[in-house]
Structure 1
Amino acid sequence: MSDQGTVFVALFSGINVGGNRVVKMAELRSFFEGLGFSDVATYVQSGNTVFRSQKGDAATLTKMIEAAFEKRWGFYSRIMVRDLGWFERLVTENPYPEIAGEPTKLHAYALEREPTTEEIARLAEKCTGPERFEVKGDVLYLHAPEGIGKSVFANLIPRTLKVPGTARNWRTVLTLLEMAGQAGGR
């Protein structure tokens, strides 16, 4: 970690969905700044936050931010904190590069942990439609040719895999990588 700190991205789960658990992005930016983070920026209303931290790793920051968030807003939101290197690997290791130009059909799930072989096999049994997926470490890549909104399989992923995670479409993934890269160059 340099003296400038490390750039991270926090991916929130379950905020600003259907008018529930509303968190304004300006308030979220102020919240992160109040926690002592710098170069704070948000992207879209689902709670994607790029920030720089002088200390701590992703796991430590996740616990700290989740606790402070729950205290501030009064509800729990699972948060996946990942560093710039993680996002670079996510994009580089995309098993479906031919779909990258159709960002609404390609999604990446940041998972709390790497699923076991048995958990992946259980999920593979449920993948009977047009979708296909691949797991690499703590990332699940999903190609949903008809879009995630029409995907029956996408709805089965959390219940079947039983590894907490949060999904982002490929456009969001690329935008967050770009934002984190720009923050890393400051």
Structure 2
Amino acid sequence: MSGFVALFSGINVGGNRIVRMAELRAFFEELGFADVASYVQSGNVVFRSTQADVVSLTKALQDAFEKRWGFHSRIMVRDATWFARLVADNPYPEIAEDPTKLHAMALEREPTPEEIGRLAEKCTGPERFEVKGDVLYLHAPDGLGKSKFAEILPRTLKVPGTMRNWRSVLALAEMIGRASG
């Protein structure tokens, strides 16, 4: 069995699309996954599966989730190797000590140079970002909530993704490391 993290997008945000974590964990167990654990309310589930293909896992989870809760949530399934690379490739190690100012966005696919260029043109505030593969690292010195750049990032980049702060990234990396070990 291999360890995975399912990153949900758009649940439990602003009091909308409420999914209780206990119900989500039970849902994963009903689907046959093992060692299911969740982290914070925004939809992060660590689990083990005999199925190793993340594309198949993602499709099966999205379909079953929509059937159960009646709405679509983009789910990105990532394995332990991906999380280890995410942490190791952090281009802002000096910011990692302040996890509220460093974020990682798991992207559905690697953006094209044109897409990254279009985003770079809009990055005019105190923020800075770097894309490595299918991850966008964002340093938001004033915090994500005050970042005008973070507001326009999804519609400018046009590559679906889901953002996590560095504290969550490190916690999930540790959890998936234990699940895979």
TM-score category (smaller protein): over 0.9
Alpha-carbon offset, residue 182 of structure 1: 1.2
Task: Quote the residue 1:60 is aligned against.
Answer: 56
The aligned length equals 181
C-alpha deviations, 1:103-133, integer Å up to 9, x for none? 0000000000000000000000000000000
Corresponding position: 1:12 with 2:4: no
Secondary structure of 2:47's counterpart equals strand
Q: Which amino acid aligns with 1:131?
A: E
Secondary structure of 1:167's counterpart equals strand
Equivalent position to 2:177, from 149, 174, 181 = 181
Unaligned runs of 5+ in 2: none
Corresponding position: 1:44 with 2:40: yes
Percent identical residues: 76
Contact 2:102 2:138 in 1 (8 A): yes
Task: Quote the residue 1:144 is aligned against.
Answer: 140
Contact 2:2 2:179 in 1 (8 A): no
Equivalent position to 2:113, from 114, 117, 128 = 117
Corresponding position: 1:163 with 2:159: yes
Secondary structure of 2:52's counterpart equals coil
Alpha-carbon offset, residue 55 of structure 1: 1.3
User: Could you tell me how far apart the structure 1 residues matched to 2:67 and 2:91 are?
Assistant: 39
Task: Quote the residue 2:76 is aligned against.
Answer: 80
User: Could you tell me how far apart the structure 2 residues matched to 1:27 and 1:71 are?
Assistant: 14
Corresponding position: 1:135 with 2:131: yes
Unaligned runs of 5+ in 1: none
Q: Which amino acid aligns with 2:135?
A: V
Alpha-carbon offset, residue 157 of structure 1: 0.7
User: Could you tell me how far apart the structure 2 residues matched to 1:86 and 1:138 are?
Assistant: 10
Secondary structure of 2:14's counterpart equals coil
Q: Which amino acid aligns with 1:109?
A: M
Q: Which amino acid aligns with 1:177?
A: A
Corresponding position: 1:71 with 2:67: yes
Instruction: Extract structure 1 runs of 4+ deviating beyond 4 A.
Output: none
Equivalent position to 1:126, from 117, 122, 133 = 122
User: Could you tell me how far apart the structure 1 residues matched to 2:52 and 2:167 are?
Assistant: 28
Q: Which moved more, 1:124-133 or 1:53-62?
A: 53-62
Secondary structure of 1:128's counterpart equals coil
Equivalent position to 2:94, from 90, 94, 98 = 98
Alpha-carbon offset, residue 56 of structure 1: 3.5
Task: Quote the residue 2:150 is aligned against.
Answer: 154
TM-score, normalised with respect to structure 2? 0.99
